Amino acid sequence: MLRSLLPILFLVFSYGSQAQQSKSVDFRTANGRLTFVHAEKKVSGTARYTFDLLRRVDTVYLDARKMQVDSVRLNGKKAAFVLTDKQLKIVLPKKRKKKGNQLAFTYTASPRQALYFTGQGEGAQIWSQGQGKFTSNWFPSLDDTNDKMVFSLSFEVPEGQIGVSNGQQVGSKSGRRVSFAMQQPMSSYLLMVAIGRFTCFRDTSNSGVPMEFYLEPADSAKFEATYRYSRRIFDFFEHEIGVPYPWNIYRQLPVQDFLYGGMENTTSTLFARNYVVDSIGWNDRDYTNVNAHELAHQWFGDLVTAASDDHHWLQEGFATYYALLAEREVFGDDYFQLRLYENAVQIERSKEQKPVVGAGASSLIYYQKGGWALHALRETIGEALFRKAVEAYLRKYQFRNVTTEQFLAEVERVAPAFDSAAFRRKWLDNPDFDMEEALRLLRKNSFMQRYFEVSGLEEQPFEAKKERFATLLAGDDYWPIKEEVVFQLTQLAFDEKKALLETALATNDVHIRQAVARTMGKIPAEAYAMYAALLDDPSYITKEIVLNALCSQFPEKRKELLDKTRGIEGFSDKNLRILWLTLALKAKDYDPAGNAAYYDELLRYASPAYESDVRENALTNLLFLDPNDTNALEALARATVHHKWQFVKFSRDRIRNLIKKERYRTFFSELLAKLPDAERTAVENLLKESK
């Protein structure tokens, strides 16, 4: 629907594309003075811009999705404008300035994407996610990544909470309004805001860059494990990349129900709370790779930005590869090579065969396949020339948009013998992945040679490799080789592999012991004590596997098992606590007096008071205990509306499957009257689908 002061003018200046405006108009700065209202899921305020005219045009526009806009003023005078569902278009006067134009207006938005209002009460948070969804849903800006501006934001923060945005905090720090300002231009999809209750931990890089690490107050004890190696990675990148960190501060902040692993907003990375772990959880799920990936983007994506989707690998391929280089710095070359191999296998097994350069591919192509292209390039021209080319590329195109051709031209400049055309045909434009070449490069590493050799024993009879396995498990090989040995024992009877399993467990390596936990299958009575000892391992995944298996196979031991594991929460999704509650309720004679409280706690975890991964875990277990639990079914219906698409898919798919049976169809039909509007509409649509 068109909302306009001068609707007839729309036909005059409904022209062209975003790329056309970037050639005609240069928006230079954007300043927002905003107010966020969590209860109403609304943002409002004043937005101010400066821009220059590069060519004569009749209008300029900003992307502004489903906003209300008032009081538009251009160079201090009231301006005519047209507002659509997607854009604000401003009519320029006949007499116009080329340089230093000033645009200002007030606006209000209730965004359904890109700005999220999560949590309740003291746990309430507000955070943004512009990548792929566009910042223009909550702040009028330019969705074209070729348009870069110097942003600054000022906004109010509720009592007891803190707020962060891009750049350094400026102005007075008293009161509830905070202000942040960038000094260099960036694309609008990198604009961010985050508001909530957080504790800040501070550090400084070797080069003097201030670093801020945030956690919710209840997670403060998890700081070391969560942010382990953060400063080391930062210092490594400045040395490895050869270009100093391009901004004046770096901060990281985990938020509730984040949509992805992390997002590289300029100076201020947001990431998922799944990576907030203690020292035990770190053994299963560490933040190192995501941490390094998002930091690498501060150079590859933020400093230099792909000119179009065709060149998206220049952001994601680089961030993926440099994250692996950071892991090599921390965990060693053998780990690095193994991760490269895992990525290669993933690419090879994928049904998707698309080139790295080009639009419309999946993340596997841009990330892992793009990363492999860079590894092949580095191996081809050598590390020294690779570093030199990357440094020259970043320095030449800093704060600009880039293409694959421009990057390869810099490689050719430092390595004249490099055949960029052949490299491009093989690694960038080829829909196939050269697995043979990848394996050749991997075999340059002695650990990978041994790993491939051990993997190749899989088809051999057990007796032919038994002694070799014993030697490997007792030796000093890197743990993945021993893990592979354990995996190859999976189908053997316990008596045949007992001695080897005992040797594997005696390594006291958490990875190898977890491999034993995963592959035991049927546990003989004589192996109970050996297997139960795994409950003491520093791994929440191992504990979960073992507790579940032992309670299932040894019901007479449930009491001692549940007593031993009472009170262990596990990861942020409460994996162990929810499993414990489920097992306690399933064993009705364990604690009959506590069953009501256990059920209430499990049901509470399925409510909107918790993050989606907790809710999904709780709902899965509630319906496992009783597929006809009306409380759980109602909680499932209330999960059909959420900003996190993965959770919505889970809940809607479960309902789709249930309503194939008439009794569930009747239940959800009768439930409609009790549901809020959005959830009622979602369930109604599911019922209509099934007819």
* Threshold 0.85, pTM exceeds: yes
d(CA 509, CA 236): 28
Question: For residue 526, what pLDDT is reported?
Answer: 95
Q: Is the pLDDT of residue 204 over 60?
A: yes
462, 492 in Cβ contact below 8 A? yes
Buried b (16+ CB within 10 A) or exposed e, 632-645: bbbbbbbbbbbbbe
- Torsion sign, CA atoms 45, 46, 49, 55: positive
- Torsion sign, CA atoms 129, 133, 137, 142: positive
Within 10 angstroms of residue 250's Cβ, the number of other Cβ atoms is 22
252, 227 in Cβ contact below 8 A? yes
Question: For residue 316, what pLDDT is reported?
Answer: 97
Amino acid identity for residue 176 in this structure: R
Question: For residue 509, what pLDDT is reported?
Answer: 97
- Torsion sign, CA atoms 468, 470, 472, 476: negative
pLDDT tens across 133-182, in order? Answer: 689 999 999 999 999 999 999 999 999 999 999 999 998 766 689 999 99
Length of the chain, in residues: 691
Whole-number percent of the chain with pLDDT over 70: 96
Higher pLDDT pick, 270 / 521: 270
Question: For residue 133, what pLDDT is reported?
Answer: 66
| Mean pLDDT of the residues in the chain | 94
3-state secondary structure of 205: coil
661-664 CB contacts, 8 Å cutoff, 24+ apart? 663/628, 664/633
- pLDDT band at 433, cuts 50/70/90? very high
* β-strand pairing of 115-118 with 125-128: antiparallel
- pLDDT band at 515, cuts 50/70/90? very high
d(CA 73, CA 48): 9
Question: For residue 23, what pLDDT is reported?
Answer: 85
Closest CA to 188 of 132, 243, 244: 132
- pLDDT band at 14, cuts 50/70/90? very low
Mean pLDDT of 289-303: 98
Cβ contacts of 594 within 8 Å, gap of 6 or more:
584
Strand partners, 101: 51
Question: For residue 76, what pLDDT is reported?
Answer: 95
Q: How far from 118 is each of 176, 271, 618, 624, CA to CA, in Å?
A: 20, 14, 19, 28
pLDDT tens across 537-571, in order? Answer: 999 999 999 999 999 999 999 999 999 999 999 99
Q: Where are the alpha helices (DSSP H) in 242-312?
A: 288-297
Mean pLDDT of 191-214: 98
pLDDT tens across 224-245, in order? Answer: 999 999 999 999 999 999 999 9
Question: For residue 85, what pLDDT is reported?
Answer: 95
d(CA 283, CA 280): 6
Q: Is the pLDDT of residue 10 over 60?
A: no
88, 142 in Cβ contact below 8 A? no
Question: For residue 96, what pLDDT is reported?
Answer: 87
3-state secondary structure of 187: strand
- pLDDT band at 132, cuts 50/70/90? low
d(CA 244, CA 235): 10
Within 10 angstroms of residue 70's Cβ, the number of other Cβ atoms is 10
Closest CA to 267 of 230, 288, 298, 293: 298
Up-side HSE of residue 393: CA atoms within 13 Å toward CB?
29
Q: How far from 249 is each of 135, 169, 171, 268, CA to CA, in Å?
A: 22, 10, 16, 8
Question: For residue 15, what pLDDT is reported?
Answer: 30
513, 502 in Cβ contact below 8 A? no
Give strand ranges (E) for 75-226: 77-78, 81-83, 87-91, 101-109, 115-118, 125-128, 148-156, 162-165, 168-170, 177-181, 186-187, 193-196, 199-204, 210-215
The burial of 625, by beta-carbon neighbours within 10 Å (0-12 exposed, 13-18 middle, 19 or more buried), is given as middle
d(CA 130, CA 550): 46
Question: For residue 171, what pLDDT is reported?
Answer: 85
- pLDDT band at 17, cuts 50/70/90? very low
Q: Is the pLDDT of residue 426 over 50?
A: yes
Q: Return the structure tokens found at 233.
A: 């990675």
pLDDT tens across 38-91, in order? Answer: 999 999 999 999 999 999 899 999 999 999 999 999 999 999 999 999 999 999
Question: For residue 3, what pLDDT is reported?
Answer: 31
Question: For residue 691, what pLDDT is reported?
Answer: 72
d(CA 446, CA 389): 28
Higher pLDDT pick, 107 / 21: 107
Q: Where are the alpha helices (DSSP H) in 31-90?
A: none
Helices 230-241 and 288-297: angle between axes, nearest 10 degrees = 40
d(CA 145, CA 18): 10
Question: For residue 22, what pLDDT is reported?
Answer: 78
304, 319 in Cβ contact below 8 A? no
Question: For residue 20, what pLDDT is reported?
Answer: 62
536, 568 in Cβ contact below 8 A? no
Strand partners, 211: 203, 250
Q: Is the pLDDT of residue 32 over 60?
A: yes
The gap from C-alpha 547 to its chain's centroid, in whole angstroms, comes to 30
pLDDT tens across 587-612, in order? Answer: 989 999 999 999 999 999 999 999 99
- Torsion sign, CA atoms 471, 476, 477, 480: positive
Amino acid identity for residue 215 in this structure: L
